[in-house]
Structure 1
Amino acid sequence: MYHIPARLTRRVGIAVLAMLRDPFGLLLGALQAERARFFYFAPVLFGAGIAFYFALPFEPPIGAVLAAAGFSLFAFAMLRHTVLRPACMALLLASCGLSLATLQTERVRAPILPAQVGPAQLEGLVRKVERRPNALRLVIRPESFGGLRTQDLPSTLRISVRSMDGPVQPGDRIRVLASAQPPSSPAEPGAFDFQRYAFYRGIGGYGFALGSAEVLSTNPAEARFSRFRDRLAARIADVMGMPSGGIAAALITGDRSRITEEQQQALRDSGLAHLLAISGLHMGLVTGFLFFGLRAGLALFPGVALRWPIKKWAAVAALSGGFGYLVLTGGSVTTVRAYVMVALVMLAVLVDRRAISLRTVAIAALLVLAITPEALVEPGFQMSFAAVTALVALYERFGESWRVGVGQGGLPRRIVRYLVGVGVTTLIAGAATGPFAIYHFGRFADYGILGNLAAIPLVAFWVMPWATVGALLMPLGLEGVPLWMMGQGIEGVMAIAYAVADLPGAVRLVPAMPLWGLIAVTLGGLWLCLMSRGWRYWGLAVVALGLLSPHIAERPLVRVDADGRILAVRTASGGTMLSSTRREKFTARQWLARDGVAAGTAWPAAGVSADGRLRCDSAGCILRVEGWMIALPAGPAALQEDCRRADVVISLEPVRGRCPSARYVIDRFDLWRDGAHALWLDPQSGPSIRSADGVRGTRPWTPDPVPRKDQYWRKSAASRP
């Protein structure tokens, strides 16, 4: 039998007694011991203010928000010599985050299409061209669109065009017959808010062309950089050929429009999709190649190396090259974060300070959130900072001993240690980003560590160095050989991706993680990474709770989309039955992904479902679960009868009379006013219903559900071609 050591028992007993005797003092003492790490929580508190802003069901008044920030600053200044100073600092950081998020919303606020517009003539300036296999996707700054007034025109529209009278480039003014509508609302309460995503990018509507687009005039000065980037991507793709040229163009210019869907799917299923997002890996490899390459080259000249600070020269060159790469690739959130990290590292080299630390990560997070507060709620920011925080925390704890160990032994031992390091890095980064991938995408690549272990060395030592050389030689027209060498590496990476993606069970589908689960994972992970004492491991319990949340939280029993075109019912076995497998496929895919199932089944047009809970006929369907009756009438004829005996009535037609027996009624007006609806059923307390707009509230990115009189006129006028 195993005996607990007496020393351990004594220590635990002393700790318990101390906690019981003076818990508040013990907590203060522990926090005082962590005082040196308090700065690491600055972006956490700043981000908490931003998160509070996005969680509000209404838009806070700017005056009240700024007054709260001013009060926090005053309190911090007046109470700086008291024990309340940390609390005042926390309040100040949170209020600053809330203020910046509110101001950013006002800065980017722009008109959104009030309703579907068109078919109507659209004239505007092409800002960006995205190529797809069967169409062009144009980002257009509209100058006129149907009967819309100038002040009601969105900043940009995204229009898919299948045919052109001639080639189109950024800076061209075009005319096309098009139809467009506002960005779609969430597929269910709590799902991804595409309207918010589009709002912060200035996109006021999405649509498609109903014919070929005509180029009216061209003004290269209007979009000089976009034209340059587009020509550069096309040149890379032409020199290398497809399909590797599309990936090369993405890695060098950030333009992913030439990557095929098959390639993207293989990269996602193998855990290598992050290679397409210009992030810390790419920025680090480009700047690292410039830094070490220039330093090594200058070291060949002893007179220069001994008399001049070549290390600092190399740092300046890496900073300049990284900035050029940032601008060239479009400056996404992950790229900005990566460049800020690299810039801080190189600045530390210039001032002879430690380069990589959690302080660097904290400063980078503060800068990114200050510039783009909306990045906090997007997967790119969350996953990139989760990975870099976990890796830097690991590096701070074990990096020195590992670096010493790598430098010892012969070449075979060094290679093994390097591969182990890549494996550990991949494992930690995958563990850190996995929960966020589950929350946003409902999937996890089980063999991601295998794919990364095989592909990352190839990308680091072959693909990106040749990409850098090719980009540097392109102005001289000498990029052919470097790009060909890069293409061979890309083919190797894709071979790895296809091999890993074809393994049995390569992708694990996971039900949607609730918001509280994501918060638990985030806070637990931050506590684990940012604290230094033994109580840091308490964060593991909180992370574990968050990871269990997808299996704890109950999925909706019934869902109906905002347009009333498709419904879904959860089966007794956890599957998903759809009212139609042909209509609203995009919404259906989102529901299936959030349920963690690969495919849904069509519910019976007439008869009983396999689980016996859903019975349908020409008049509609009746769902009976745990003694509760939910009616899904197909028309007005069945509605009257259902209103006399059902507990819940969900009608895709307006319900104008009373439903005496129904506890809840959802009709076409509710869907139009509040968006998609979902119903949960507790056998004891009965049904509960939530709507998409009821969860997120009324915000600047949510269209007004009650049109004004002048909007009725504009809608009818704009709908005429």
Structure 2
Amino acid sequence: MIEPAIPAGSLRRRAADWRVRLFARSETAAETIPDRVQRAGLMVWVPVILSCGIALWFALRFEPGGAAYLAVAAAAAGLVAAAAVVRRRALAGRIGWERADVLRLLATALALACTGFLLAGLRAHLVAAPVLDFRYYGPIEGRVAGIDRSARDRMRLTLDHVVLRDMAPDRTPRQVRLSLTEPQDLPPPGQRVMLTGHLGPPPGPAEPNGFDFRRASFFDGLGAVGYTRNPVVTVAPAPPRLLDATALRLRLSRAMQEAIGGQEGAVAAALMTGDRSGIAEATNQTMRDSNLYHIVSISGLHMSMLAAFVYGALRLALAAIQATVGRRFAGWPIHKAAATGALAASAGYLWLSAGGVPTERAFLMVAVMLGAILLDRRAISLRTVAVAAIAILAVAPEALVTPGFQMSFAATASLILVFPAWSRHANRLPWIVRGAALLVLSSLIAGIATSPIAAAHFNRSAQYGLIANLLVVPVMGAVVMPAGVIAAVLGPLGLAGPALWAMGLGTRWMLFVGERVADWGGAVLAVPAPPWIVLPLGGVGATVALLALDAPAGRRAARWLVRGGVALLLAAAVIWVTARRPDLLVAGDGSVVGVMTAQGRALAKPAGAFTADSWLRADGDVAGADLAAARPAWSGAKGTRETAFAGRPLVHLSGKGAADRVAAACAGGGIVVLHGVAPAGADGPCLLLDERRLRDIGAQAAWVSGGEIRWLSAEAASGARLWSSARVRRDRGIGGQRPRWPGKTEATAGKHDSAGTRTERQTSAAPVDGAGPDGMGSADTAP
């Protein structure tokens, strides 16, 4: 049978045209954004569509069962088969190529979205591990797996191979993390230790739709958090290991800190090894306020600088050898040998730093870039970004909802898309200012791309970050990273001193710039937290609007995609600007209550500092808990604070004897929040929120409209998922229980209370939110 001719507008012809342009276009020719996207082909859409399926899985308010996954897998297979049938019909002339292209693209896109959904579910069940559902105090034994520093400047130990008293191994968390409240010598990684401490489950969100530490902990395999006031006792020394990245990382970090000294030494160690435990929280805050904190986290900046320095140094060295003693090897591809060496150095850097999404993404992009050099292909392209994104989403789909993933790819893709415009005009500038202009442009573009994401996640915007980065990044590339590589090479010979001295000068300059910029007036702008839908809308809108430019000019579908993307961006902006923060917030343990006033949120008392600070940051308020507690709204004695809310009394009871005052407080109706457990039969004509009830439904938020109160609980906002519901974990056989795959989803499980929130039965004796009985806040349990 003779196959019909393929029309010029078909998918196959367009792909062929792109391949022709790929090899015919000069390496130095200027490109437009559509050219750059066209060269990447349809590959750039694959991670976008995978992300849609992954995002749908995370957005569910119930845990899908086995039947749901089978249905999605069957749908994906059916869509792939349908695409194949459409192609055969087009080849047979039974359907037009234009229509076939549309149907095939639609079927492929839906199949990829289904694949993303399945990847997220598979990953969740692969990493699923027991989570402690009650408060535990007693002996804790385990192997030291990691050491870091908390937001309260306390050292923390992460233990694996955990043993807890009277707890079966299949119910014991895979990993636990404990803050050390007292200074003491830290055990080396791999050493088996024993201590006595408090443990509890990872805490839930500070407010509904807030950051859920339980989800992050679940995917990290962290099943309990807590603290100890007791010394750490060695049970067994660390066994000798030939390749122990953690031990080597901490050993090198300690050596660098001792050689350089001070916080500049701690920063230098973080840059080269990824160990940030030596950086004080005050230094971290300074770098956040000056927008230099990204430099401390190993990401694309560090990986690209290291790879570029190693590649350039090896190529120059090999060229010198070839020109002098190795003339017989003239014509050998020394650039490929240099690329191989740079790839090996980058892989070693990744191994030493223990990875992380920004580091893994950076390594994948550097690896693809260097691989392109080895294969005589273009090194920097959107295809490189797409391949890195696909690899990360396939291995760790949960990375999609992290700020590191979002900001890394937003910055990288934006720079690649905008760089062609720079290429067209760079030669018009004098060579002496070309480098500085490129630095300004790249910093500006990366800042524009990542600032909205950073503001949405962290509720702050560094106003002078561009200035700080312009002063610091060149020093990083010219001094710090090259000196670090030289120190690594000369270290085994005992000759690393001068290189470490130069590296210390560079990090000292970075800290100096950070301190000066952070001290400028208005350096940090507080930004209210957006509703959860804003980031997905804005991200999809920006991506679609840019990638839709790949279609030929005049294509109606492309124009509509661009318009749709811009519309999504505008919708996200409008939702963010017009969003209304809750009029009332109640902590998940009842320790703190905050009402919105004309002066900002007023706290009943300056307790629950971590939760209260999270509320204030989300409000776009720079005040601390003490200042917020001093705002005029509450009255009454220390343990019985009163105010009015929606025309009814609101009472917060705390302290000694608070439970005995519940009956009197409830007699007046209204809302009563008790930091404690109410006695049996204490209910009256009031809405009572005590610890027993709040541990079921989590933190509470309320809005007043027309005199009516609309409630939303953290439990209702997050739903019954593997990381948030003990019942769901029990049904799936996590924690020593036999798995049960229900015929119905958990969407209808549970019951609703008078506040309009769903509760679930607890099987544990005394679940807690992760804070210890001494009132220690959650700052030590946060990431």
How does the TM-score come out when normalised to structure 1? 0.86
Alignment-derived partner of residue 59 in structure 1: 63
Among candidates 224, 229, 232, match of residue 210 of structure 1:
229
Q: Which moved more, 1:397-406 or 1:65-74?
A: 397-406
Q: 3-state SS of the aligned residue for 2:716? A: helix
Among candidates 79, 82, 87, match of residue 78 of structure 1:
82
Distance in 2 between the 1:69 and 1:615 partners?
A: 59
Percent of aligned positions that are identical: 34
Distance in 2 between the 1:273 and 1:167 partners?
A: 26
Deviations 1:144-199 (A, max 9, x none): 22332222211111112355886510111112111111111100000000011111
Among candidates 552, 556, 559, match of residue 585 of structure 2:
559
User: Per-residue deviation at 1:308?
Assistant: 0.4
Among candidates 670, 695, 701, match of residue 717 of structure 2:
695
1:615, 1:622 within 8 Å by CA — same for their partners in 2? yes
Deviations 1:645-696 (A, max 9, x none): 656555555497698976x664444312111111111136x21101111111
1:579, 1:602 within 8 Å by CA — same for their partners in 2? no
Alignment-derived partner of residue 605 in structure 2: 580
Q: 3-state SS of the aligned residue for 2:157? A: strand
1:500 pairs with 2:517: yes
Among candidates 111, 118, 123, match of residue 130 of structure 2:
111
1:46 pairs with 2:50: yes
What does residue range 284-323 of structure 1 map to in structure 2 within 5 Å?
Answer: 284-300=304-320, 301-302=322-323, 303=327, 306-323=330-347
Alignment-derived partner of residue 704 in structure 2: 681
Q: 3-state SS of the aligned residue for 1:200? A: helix
User: Structure 1 pair 365/267, CA: closer, same or farther in 2 (3 Å)?
Assistant: same
> Which letter does structure 2 place at the counterpart of 1:673?
D
What does residue range 212-611 of structure 1 map to in structure 2 within 5 Å?
Answer: 212-221=231-240, 224-300=244-320, 301-302=322-323, 303=327, 306-395=330-419, 397-405=420-428, 413-532=430-549, 535=559, 536=562, 539-540=565-566, 542-573=568-599, 575-581=600-606, 583-600=607-624, 610=632
User: Structure 1 pair 492/537, CA: closer, same or farther in 2 (3 Å)?
Assistant: farther
2:246, 2:354 within 8 Å by CA — same for their partners in 1? no
Distance in 1 between the 2:40 and 2:476 partners?
A: 37
> Which letter does structure 2 place at the counterpart of 1:251?
L
Distance in 1 between the 2:495 and 2:38 partners?
A: 55
1:69 pairs with 2:73: yes
1:112, 1:703 within 8 Å by CA — same for their partners in 2? no
User: Per-residue deviation at 1:417?
Assistant: 2.3
Q: Which runs of 5+ in 2 are unaligned?
A: 1-33, 87-99, 728-759, 774-783
User: Structure 1 pair 87/473, CA: closer, same or farther in 2 (3 Å)?
Assistant: same
1:279, 1:335 within 8 Å by CA — same for their partners in 2? yes
Distance in 2 between the 1:656 and 1:88 partners?
A: 58
2:131, 2:224 within 8 Å by CA — same for their partners in 1? yes
User: Per-residue deviation at 1:528?
Assistant: 3.6
> Which letter does structure 2 place at the counterpart of 1:556?
P
Alignment-derived partner of residue 642 in structure 2: 621
1:576, 1:600 within 8 Å by CA — same for their partners in 2? no
Distance in 2 between the 1:322 and 1:506 partners?
A: 35
User: Per-residue deviation at 1:636?
Assistant: 6.8
User: Per-residue deviation at 1:201?
Assistant: 0.9
Distance in 2 between the 1:454 and 1:641 partners?
A: 62
Distance in 1 between the 2:390 and 2:477 partners?
A: 28
Q: Which moved more, 1:430-439 or 1:304-313?
A: 304-313
> Which letter does structure 1 place at the counterpart of 2:62?
F
> Which letter does structure 1 place at the counterpart of 2:488?
A
Deviations 1:327-381 (A, max 9, x none): 0111111000001111111111111111111121111111111011110111111
Among candidates 96, 109, 122, match of residue 140 of structure 2:
122
Q: Which moved more, 1:691-700 or 1:125-134?
A: 125-134
2:484, 2:500 within 8 Å by CA — same for their partners in 1? yes
1:52, 1:98 within 8 Å by CA — same for their partners in 2? yes
User: Structure 1 pair 545/419, CA: closer, same or farther in 2 (3 Å)?
Assistant: farther
> Which letter does structure 1 place at the counterpart of 2:351?
V
> Which letter does structure 1 place at the counterpart of 2:585?
R
Higher RCO structure (Cα 8 Å, ≥6 apart): 2
User: Per-residue deviation at 1:123?
Assistant: 1.5
1:195 pairs with 2:220: no
Q: 3-state SS of the aligned residue for 1:79? A: helix
2:595, 2:601 within 8 Å by CA — same for their partners in 1? yes
Q: Which runs of 5+ in 1 are unaligned?
A: 1-29, 407-412
Distance in 1 between the 2:628 and 2:180 partners?
A: 38
Distance in 1 between the 2:438 and 2:185 partners?
A: 52
User: Structure 1 pair 609/495, CA: closer, same or farther in 2 (3 Å)?
Assistant: closer
1:677, 1:689 within 8 Å by CA — same for their partners in 2? yes
> Which letter does structure 2 place at the counterpart of 1:488?
L
> Which letter does structure 2 place at the counterpart of 1:622?
T
> Which letter does structure 1 place at the counterpart of 2:513?
I
1:439, 1:514 within 8 Å by CA — same for their partners in 2? no
What does residue range 141-180 of structure 1 map to in structure 2 within 5 Å?
Answer: 141-162=160-181, 168-180=187-199
2:76, 2:111 within 8 Å by CA — same for their partners in 1? yes
User: Per-residue deviation at 1:92?
Assistant: 0.8
Q: 3-state SS of the aligned residue for 1:196? A: helix
Q: 3-state SS of the aligned residue for 1:243? A: helix
Deviations 1:514-555 (A, max 9, x none): 112212221222134323269447745543443454431110
1:117, 1:146 within 8 Å by CA — same for their partners in 2? no
> Which letter does structure 1 place at the counterpart of 2:483?
W
User: Per-residue deviation at 1:713?
Assistant: 10
User: Per-residue deviation at 1:600?
Assistant: 4.7
1:630, 1:650 within 8 Å by CA — same for their partners in 2? no
> Which letter does structure 2 place at the counterpart of 1:336?
E
- What CA RMSD, in Å, does the superposition of the two structures yield over aligned residues? 3.0
> Which letter does structure 2 place at the counterpart of 1:124?
G
2:162, 2:174 within 8 Å by CA — same for their partners in 1? no
2:62, 2:720 within 8 Å by CA — same for their partners in 1? yes
Alignment-derived partner of residue 17 in structure 1: none
Among candidates 81, 91, 99, match of residue 118 of structure 2:
99
> Which letter does structure 1 place at the counterpart of 2:714?
A
Deviations 1:537-574 (A, max 9, x none): 7745543443454431110111111111111111124x
Distance in 1 between the 2:184 and 2:451 partners?
A: 46
Q: Which moved more, 1:642-651 or 1:458-467?
A: 642-651
